[in-house]
């Protein structure tokens, strides 16, 4: 299998690093290219053993999967450059936010299979939750191969393309929303009179430990919460205070705003 990455930024780096570390594809079969930063490509070659090339004909020749990781506003120019060299073997995987499959297909001028993925920054630690949508002509064998590639840097959730807006909100932007919650927790803890550095370190370890509890348990998060909530205790008192606020409504507003913005960006590019 030969894999090509157009664009070698932070997200692409997380993806091809996961693929290399999973031993799905030999690193020498992964080729990178970018607009001009050859030093970055050299560093990835030294770090991981992946190759790089600036010849589009050579890149696309016999390439099985072509990751499109350029910035969305640069895609039209990229499409112009690679269109003459696209061949029947190429299957495209877009990590560009907001560009629908129909638009990508139109700009590339091809009927080849196209997938869109929406990873998140947890890909850097091999724990991305990645939404994926396939064009109708993506065969089952190829779908399976793409699932394997994505599982190399996390987990995968296959949805219809229209549902990628919801996935973008829930998991794509999700790390930032959770970081924001943790920020407020640190501030609240500091306001109790403890040193900020101590609170930050304690809450960092609290988050890690709680995540491991979720990972290792078959219980729902609701049940895990109930298991540590004694009637009339301190945890119950704190939860009662939280229930005075519409926490669910706040998160519903948050996710709806993110979905609406995703739809807006997608419509602007059509």
pLDDT averaged per 10 residues, the chain (length 270):
94 93 94 91 95 96 96 94 96 93 96 96 92 96 96 95 94 95 96 94 96 96 96 96 95 96 79
Q: What is the pLDDT of residue 224?
A: 97
Check residue 64 and give its pLDDT: 97
Closest to 118 measured CA to CA, from 77, 162, 180, 78: 162
Question: pTM to 2 decimals?
Answer: 0.86
**pLDDT attached to residue 266:** 81
Domain stops at, among 158, 191, 217 = 158
- Known binding-site positions for NADPH: 56
Count how many domains the chain has.
2
Residues 41 and 113 in one domain: yes
Read off the CATH number of the domain in which 251 is found: 1.10.3730.10
Whole-number CA gyration radius for the chain: 22
**CATH number, residue 147:** 3.40.50.720
Kindly state whether residues 175 and 235 are assigned to the same domain: yes
Domain of residue 150 covers 3-158
Cβ neighbour number for residue 72 with a 10 Å cutoff: 16
Clarify whether residues 104 and 122 are in a common domain.
yes
Q: How many CB atoms lie within 10 A of CB 76?
A: 13
- pLDDT at position 270 is 56
Which residues are annotated as part of the binding site? 56
Inter-residue long-range contacts of 75-81, CB under 8 Å, 24+ positions, other chains counted:
75/99, 75/104, 75/107, 76/107, 78/6, 79/104, 79/107, 79/108, 79/109, 81/56
In a domain, 163, yes or no: no
- Assess whether 94 and 153 both reside in one domain: yes
């Amino acid at each position: 299998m030969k894999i090509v990455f157009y664009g070698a930024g932070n997200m692409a780096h997380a993806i091809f690093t996961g693929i290399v570390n999973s031993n799905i594809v030999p690193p020498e079969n992964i080729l990178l290219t970018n607009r001009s930063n050859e030093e970055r490509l050299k560093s990835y070659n030294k770090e991981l053993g992946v190759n790089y090339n600036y010849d589009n004909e050579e890149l696309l020749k016999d390439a099985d999967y072509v990751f499109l990781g350029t910035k969305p506003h640069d895609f039209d120019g990229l499409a112009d450059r690679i269109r003459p060299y696209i061949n029947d073997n190429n299957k495209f995987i877009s990590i560009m936010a907001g560009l629908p499959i129909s638009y990508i297909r139109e700009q590339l001028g091809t009927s080849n299979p196209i997938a869109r993925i929406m990873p998140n920054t947890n890909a850097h630690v091999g724990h991305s939750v990645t939404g994926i949508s396939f064009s109708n002509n993506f065969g089952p064998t190829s779908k399976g191969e793409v699932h394997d590639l994505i599982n190399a840097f996390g987990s995968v959730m296959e949805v219809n393309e229209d549902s990628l807006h919801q996935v973008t909100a829930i998991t794509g932007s999700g790390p930032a929303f959770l970081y924001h919650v943790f920020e407020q927790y640190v501030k609240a803890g500091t306001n109790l009179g403890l040193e900020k550095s101590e609170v930050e370190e304690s809450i960092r370890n609290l988050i890690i430990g709680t995540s491991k509890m979720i990972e290792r348990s078959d219980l729902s998060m609701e049940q895990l919460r109930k298991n540590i909530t004694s009637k009339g205790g301190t945890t119950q008192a704190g939860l009662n205070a939280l229930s005075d606020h519409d926490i669910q409504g706040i998160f519903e507003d948050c996710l709806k705003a993110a979905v609406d913005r995703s739809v807006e960006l997608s419509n602007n590019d059509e």
